[in-house]
């Protein structure tokens, strides 16, 4: 087993309407059904159901956040994929294309 852990992980937050977040981050906090779960680079694989709450993440020395109302997340050592309905997304107009 190697100790070469990644220094960051890719966070993608996807709603039914668009890609809300696609960033390299140092840490993610997810609102699971049983409470908040902190994810760092190198986390073991995990699939979890999300509750209503705030996804927070750290990048470039600042903290960002996004309110969500359920969904699920797949956690991998170098990536976190979140499929959700964002509370902010409900208030946004669909992108014209």
pLDDT in tens, 85-96: 877 655 444 333
Segment 19-73, tens digit of pLDDT: 999 999 999 999 999 999 999 999 999 999 999 999 999 988 899 999 999 999 9
Full strand arrangement of the beta sheet holding 27-32 = 19-25, 9-14, 79-86, 62-76, 46-59, 27-32, 35-39
| Structural domains of the chain, with CATH | 20-88 (2.60.15.10)
How far is 29 from 96, CA to CA, in rounded Å?
A: 32
- State how far the alpha carbon of 69 is from the alpha carbons of 16, 82, 86, in Å: 13, 12, 6
- Give pTM, 2 decimals: 0.82
């Amino acid at each position: 087993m190697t100790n070469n852990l990644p220094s960051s992980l890719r966070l993608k937050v996807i709603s039914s309407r668009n890609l809300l977040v696609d960033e390299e981050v140092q840490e993610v906090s997810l609102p699971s059904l049983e409470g908040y779960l902190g994810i760092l680079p190198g986390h073991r694989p995990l699939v979890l159901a999300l509750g209503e709450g705030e996804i927070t993440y750290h990048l470039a020395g600042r903290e960002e956040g996004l309110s969500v109302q359920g969904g699920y997340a797949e956690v991998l050592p170098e990536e976190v994929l979140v499929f959700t309905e964002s509370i902010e997304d409900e208030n946004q107009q669909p992108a014209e294309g």
